[in-house]
Amino acid sequence: MAAQQLEFEFAQILPDGTGYKKRPKNPGESNRGELKVMIGVDNKGNTFPMGVWSDKSWAEIGTAILDPKDAAKRDRPLADDLVVDGEPGMAEGLEHLADGVQRCHWHLPRDLGYSMWKDEAPLRKRKMKSKQLSQLMAIELPKGSVDEISEKDKAKLLERCGKVERELDKFIEDLGAKGYGVAANYVSNAKRHLFTYLGTWLELGIRCPRTTSLIERLMREIGRRLKKIAFGWSESGAAKMARMVIARILNPKGWRDHWEDRKEIAGNAIIIFQGIEVIR
């Protein structure tokens, strides 16, 4: 499935993953499975499934889609931007697929609270710092196309970005000074991928999402089907179910047409409703 997409170039690639209870192959084996999904978005906002994988690392998935050696030979990457939520190994395993990496602006402040929890920070401090980070890194793009923006306004955007980056450095220093080393390291690692969307818009005129909300709906539906409606999936069964959910959401017309063809009724069936009998 993924190999067929190699010649298709995307504006963005959005990956995500979710856990599920799988059926262990051997006695004593863990029943925790990991399902990973990836979709592509073109310049018009159309979405395309790129693949579903069960119990594969992001590095293995990235190589399966496009070998890093082959990626280096291409005239341009498979996508302009890779939008990630910060899951360990995700950006590292997939970054060769895109020209830039954009960290999710929703996950970062939310997960900062978890990092500060590891640093044993009190709840009040965690909430305060998460809110502060969310407000600090917000840089809104002007309405309209990039061609409609004056060079002066573009320069102001870049100046604003530089100022925010300097304030982020102070934010990171403050975390470290207060003994929140895990949190400081977390924000520091994410900082270089926070404003890719700004560069993509200024250079290419393409609006890159700052959050992974586009794929979140897919993952909620997949999670509902795998975790709440049933469990004990085989690895292949979980992947097949995820593909069905993706096809139904991303291509509802194609999904309906597929099942209309499968029914093979062709107007030859007649259903006559005769009534309801009530038994007391």
Q: How far is CA 173 from the centre of its chain?
A: 29
Report whether pLDDT(147) > 80. Answer: yes
What pLDDT, on the 0 to 100 scale, is given for residue 263?
A: 64
Once rounded to an integer, what is the mean pLDDT over residues 126-147?
Answer: 92
Q: What does residue 21 show for φ and ψ, rounded to 5 degrees?
A: -90, 115
Helices (H), 74-233: 90-94, 107-118, 123-136, 151-177, 181-191, 196-204, 213-223
Count of Cβ atoms closer than 10 Å to residue 49 Cβ: 20
User: Which position has the higher pLDDT, 107 or 265?
Assistant: 107
Q: Are 57 and 36 in contact (CB under 8 A)?
A: no
Distance CA 31, CA 22 (A): 5
Q: How far is CA 192 from the centre of its chain?
A: 18
Of 8-17, 86-95, 128-137, the least confident: 8-17
Give the model's confidence band at 4: pLDDT under 50 very low, under 70 low, under 90 confident, else very high.
very low
pLDDT digits (tens, 9 = 90+) for 214-247: 898 888 888 888 877 767 788 888 888 888 888 8
Which two tokens mark 279? Answer: 């038994």
Give the CA distances from residue 93 to residues 35, 113, 125, 160, in Å, rounded to whole numbers and listed in that order. 16, 25, 33, 31
- pTM equals 0.81
What pLDDT, on the 0 to 100 scale, is given for residue 230?
A: 67
Q: Are 112 and 183 in contact (CB under 8 A)?
A: yes
